């Protein structure tokens, strides 16, 4: 949780003398705080025993620290029956002006671990193949090195990106290009908002390539042309665009080939 909310000053109380229903907390315990209660069960479905433990922890937290918000962390996902039970629990405490948040369950935990490699490797060292580390070792071996540090990796990435941009410029110097690597923010970043001189933008899910008009006179004399090859659904979108002029977004799977002229 500290990694997820780095500026929230989440604290971990020592529980040897009893944690009073608090595993993690943020804020002032005397004036209402956010409390996390962590439960690691050895079952895959919540039973009466586990539900009783959860309710007891919630009652302890309310009795001892009166939190503004209580969050249950679980190492499993709730089935439909358990989800309905928890919703009733939330409703019963909402009438007392106590916010019982939706559980931080196994799915949420797995999603966080996907993006937090240091934590994942520390607590779950054999959970999955570290592709990034493997790539780094291969690159280092190709250069006669044991490993590539952050500074060397940044330099290598910069050099590769500059070479890629130079190749794009060589293909059509009428444009300036911008390449953004990433993808962790999801599909909402594409298509990008309108920018002056932005002619086109494309993505393969890992990077976004933008082309900006540089030589306006050359583009007026020799307008840009494009050749596309679509699959069936991509072709239907193109026909819809021709008929209606409605904006279309094609996925990488729908574009089989592309060439600018």
Q: Are residues 60 and 146 in the same domain?
A: no
Together in a domain, 103 and 48: yes
Q: What is the pLDDT of residues 216-237, one digit of tens each?
A: 877 877 787 778 889 999 999 9
Residue 99 and residue 43 share a domain: yes
Q: Mark whether 67 and 133 lie in a shared domain.
A: no
Angstrom CA distances, 79 to 33, 107, 216, stand at 29, 12, 60
Span of 46-60, 118-132, 183-197 with lowest mean pLDDT: 118-132
Task: Tell me, yes or no, if the pTM score tops 0.85.
Answer: no
Report the pLDDT value the prediction gives residue 30, as an integer from 0 to 100: 63
Q: Within a 13 Å sphere around the CA of 119, how many CA atoms are in the beta-carbon half?
A: 12
| Residue 252, domain member (yes or no) | yes
Please indicate, yes or no, whether residues 114 and 43 belong to a single structural domain of this protein: yes
Claim to verify: residue 103 and residue 157 sit in the same structural domain: no
> How high is the pLDDT of residue 207?
85
Examine the domain organization and report whether 101 and 65 are in the same domain.
Answer: yes
Q: Which of 123, 138, 157 lies at the terminal end of a domain, its last residue?
A: 123
Contact, 70 vs 56, CB < 8 A? no
Burial class (CB in 10 A: 0-12, 13-18, 19+), 228: middle
Q: Which domain holds residue 150?
A: 129-168
Is 144 part of a structural domain of the chain? yes
Q: What is the pLDDT at residue 17?
A: 44
Domain count, the chain: 4
Distance CA 224, CA 214 (A): 13
């Amino acid at each position: 949780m500290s990694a997820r909310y780095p500026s929230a000053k989440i604290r971990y109380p020592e529980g040897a003398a009893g944690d009073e229903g608090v595993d993690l907390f943020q804020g002032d315990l005397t004036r209402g705080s956010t409390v996390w209660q962590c439960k690691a069960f050895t079952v895959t479905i919540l039973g009466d025993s586990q539900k009783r433990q959860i309710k007891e922890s919630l009652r302890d937290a309310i009795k001892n620290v009166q939190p503004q918000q209580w969050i249950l962390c679980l190492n499993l996902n709730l089935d439909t029956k358990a989800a309905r039970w928890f919703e009733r629990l939330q409703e019963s405490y909402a009438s007392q002006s106590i916010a019982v948040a939706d559980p931080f369950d196994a799915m949420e935990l797995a999603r966080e671990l996907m993006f937090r490699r240091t934590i994942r490797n520390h607590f779950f060292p054999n959970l999955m193949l570290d592709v990034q580390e493997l790539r780094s070792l291969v690159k280092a071996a190709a250069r006669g090195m044991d490993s590539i540090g952050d500074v060397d990796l940044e330099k290598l990435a910069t050099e590769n990106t500059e070479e890629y941009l130079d190749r794009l410029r060589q293909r059509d110097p009428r444009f300036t290009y911008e390449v953004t690597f990433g993808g962790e923010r999801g599909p909402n970043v594409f298509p990008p908002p309108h920018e002056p001189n932005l002619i086109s933008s494309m993505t393969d899910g890992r990077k976004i390539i933008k082309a900006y008009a540089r030589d306006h006179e050359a583009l007026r004399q020799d307008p840009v042309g494009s050749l596309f090859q679509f699959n069936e659904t991509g072709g239907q979108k193109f026909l819809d665009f021709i008929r209606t002029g409605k904006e279309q977004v094609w996925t990488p799977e729908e574009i089989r080939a592309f060439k600018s002229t």
